[in-house]
Chains A and B, each alone.
Chain A
Amino acid sequence: MRKLLYAVVGLVVAVALWEGYKAVGNPDGTVLFGVRVLPRADDLSMPHLWTVLERLGRPELTGGRPVWIVVVRACLFTLGITAVGFVIGAVVGLLLAVVMERFRIVERGLLPYVILSQTVPLVALAPLVAGWGGTIMPAWAVVSLIAAYLAFFPVAVGMLRGLQSPSASGVELMRSYAAGWWRTLVKLRFPSSLPYLFPALRLAGAAAVVGAVVGEISTGTRGGVGRLIIEYSREATSDPAKVYTAMLGAALLGLVVAGLVSLLELPLMRHRRHVEVVTL
């Protein structure tokens, strides 16, 4: 209940900031020494929020479906791509973390490349993936792959940290029970990595959304919200509120994904909710 209240308060603050700046900001933006330090506040750059909301209700094109239906459909399409990319990325990240934890030498050899993988600009990579994968799989699968490429990273790094988190005495205890590598992994390392895994999964969820949206744009895949942003931004001069409807959709998509991921936590983190201490 309180969480909901905070969320509403946060939303109100964001709205107030947007409309507040629009009210006081210079319509041409503030320029200092030839550099624009504050954005333009005119209706073209920052439409009123109610204009954006009202635009959602009007048809996309004259006589067409309302914009909100188009945006929701595009978001659902992208959600599907994101989900596939997220699952692939999470599985790959998990496997990499387990292998790196098991073999020190793999960690040393592989971890730098895992980090390096994220410094390659996605925009440069996406057309390459589309070029290679386009012949053997549908366009949406290519975009999923790009999403997975972004999503695996936080999982691999966070999970590795989590798998290495048990104390030396915990590991010694398992050794004293004559438990081998696999049983130590299942009984000790996996459970103790959960507090590291869930934040990593949330990051991966966000990364998968970004990957899907950017992937759609740079591979030119139709049907998703990424494509919609590009299409609507072409009309930005005549219909500035329209592109914001698509961006709103993308933001909501991110929230939905983050929410779905945190639902995973509930059944697995029960012990964290007991705080009262008994003394005897």
Chain B
Amino acid sequence: MSAVVVSSVTKTFNIGRTDEVTALSEVDLTVGDGEFVSLIGPSGCGKSTLLRLIADLIEPSTGTVTVAGKGAGQARKEQAYGIAFQQAGLFEWRTVLRNVELPLELRGMGKAERKARAEEMLTLVGLEDFGGHYPAQLSGGMQQRVAIARALAVQPPLLLMDEPFGALDEMTRERLQSELLGICAKTGTSTVFVTHSISEAVFLSDRVVVMSARPGRITASVTVDLPSRDDAGRQSPPFFDKITEVRQALRGTPLKTVS
């Protein structure tokens, strides 16, 4: 069963008004179980819109979205995914630990159990010593890690990320990329990752989906198979080949076109 199936989805905002805009047009996307898929494209290509459709934060104008075999709305109600945004969006009045506990709390999990789970998640992102801190005391990178821990807290089969490392410096970003890969490998989570960084997309993904704007649609799908996903992988020829391939696809001279 596929983690996500998006079939012929069109999303139009402000229908019937003068500022009507078609954000997505006839988009098809399938994310396999355990697959890491990046969405990349210029601003306004609808990559964030596509992610929000999968998350059922907005509804498609036409077409269907299926998450883990269920309708997107049902999947959201069952917390079948975890989500992280560009801004960590932690609740500043809660300690780090209580931030990670939030989705568990809303699920009605018992106090002791959710504390144990949240501590486990913080260990996963290397912040086990900071549970008692408030978000304002942490650096941007650490806050983003807390956000990832929070997204993983319900142990969802699917992780949705909207430019989660976009606001971070390059060094922190690379370290978090490696950590994210480690976590995904350990938990077997399928991931949809929105980014505007070509190297980030290539380094992280099994598949990079390239989108173009006005109207937003998928123009290419590049399968990436690096020899290893570590610093050696970042230096390997296939890494640079794939970067070139994605860049050409973005410029509209694709080597191959899928859907």
Give Cα A194 to B55, complex, Å: 29
Using CB atoms, name the residue of chain B closest to A173. Answer: B89
Q: Which residues of A contact B107 (CB under 8 A)?
A: 177
Cβ B138 vs Cβ A191 within 8 A: no
Question: Interface centre among A176, A191, A277, A278, by most B CB within 10 Å?
Answer: A176
Which of A176, A187, A192, A276 is close to B81, meaning CB atoms less than 8 Å apart? A176
| Count, chain A residues at interface, CB 8 A | 24
Cβ B139 vs Cβ A169 within 8 A: no
Number of A-B contacts (CB under 8 A): 78
Within the complex, the shortest CB–CB distance from A93 to chain B, in Å, comes to 21
Using CB atoms, name the residue of chain A closest to B136. Answer: A274
B92 on interface, CB distance cutoff 8 Å: yes
Indicate with 1 or 0, residue by residue over A244-280, a CB within 8 angstroms of chain B CB atoms. Answer: 0000000000000000000000000001001111111
Give Cα A125 to B106, complex, Å: 47
Cβ B136 vs Cβ A275 within 8 A: yes
Indicate with 1 or 0, residue by residue over A105-130, a CB within 8 angstroms of chain B CB atoms. Answer: 00000000000000000000000000
Q: Which of B77-126 touch A at CB < 8 Å? A: 77-79, 81, 83, 85, 87, 89, 91-94, 102-103, 105-107, 126
Using CB atoms, name the residue of chain A closest to B130. Answer: A278
Q: Which residues of A contact B126 (CB under 8 A)?
A: 280
Q: Which residues of B contact A192 (CB under 8 A)?
A: 91, 93
A44 on interface, CB distance cutoff 8 Å: no
Which of A169, A191, A277 is close to B87, meaning CB atoms less than 8 Å apart? A169
Q: Binding site of B, secondary structure by majority: helix, strand, loop or mixed?
A: loop
Q: Which residues of A contact B106 (CB under 8 A)?
A: 177-179, 183, 187
Given A167-B87, A173-B89, verify A178-B137 contact (CB < 8 Å): no
Within the complex, the shortest CB–CB distance from B77 to chain A, in Å, comes to 4
Q: Which residues of A contact B142 (CB under 8 A)?
A: 278-280
Q: Which residues of B contact A194 (CB under 8 A)?
A: 93
B15 on interface, CB distance cutoff 8 Å: no
Cβ A277 vs Cβ B138 within 8 A: yes
Give Cα A271 to B137, complex, Å: 10
Cβ A178 vs Cβ B79 within 8 A: yes
Within the complex, the shortest CB–CB distance from A270 to chain B, in Å, comes to 8
Using CB atoms, name the residue of chain A closest to B89. Answer: A169
Q: How large is the interface on B (under 10, 10 to 19, 20 to 34, 35 or more residues)?
A: 20 to 34
Cβ B57 vs Cβ A177 within 8 A: no
Cβ A278 vs Cβ B77 within 8 A: no
Q: Which residues of B contact A187 (CB under 8 A)?
A: 91, 102, 105-106
Cβ B139 vs Cβ A277 within 8 A: yes
Cβ B93 vs Cβ A176 within 8 A: no
B240 on interface, CB distance cutoff 8 Å: no
Give Cα A82 to B6, complex, Å: 60
Cβ A278 vs Cβ B93 within 8 A: no
Q: Which residues of A contact B139 (CB under 8 A)?
A: 277-280
Using CB atoms, name the residue of chain A closest to B92. Answer: A271
B214 on interface, CB distance cutoff 8 Å: no
Indicate with 1 or 0, residue by residue over A161-185, a CB within 8 angstroms of chain B CB atoms. Answer: 0000001011011011111000100
Give Cα A175 to B83, complex, Å: 11
Q: Which residues of A contact B134 (CB under 8 A)?
A: 271, 274
Residue pairs across A and B with Cβ atoms less than 8 A apart, 27 shown, are A167-B89, A169-B87, A169-B89, A170-B89, A172-B85, A175-B57, A176-B55, A176-B57, A176-B76, A176-B79, A177-B103, A178-B77, A179-B106, A187-B106, A188-B91, A192-B93, A194-B93, A271-B92, A275-B136, A275-B137, A276-B137, A277-B137, A278-B138, A278-B142, A280-B127, A280-B139, A280-B142
- 5 closest Cβ contacts across the A-B interface? A279-B139, A178-B77, A169-B85, A169-B89, A271-B134
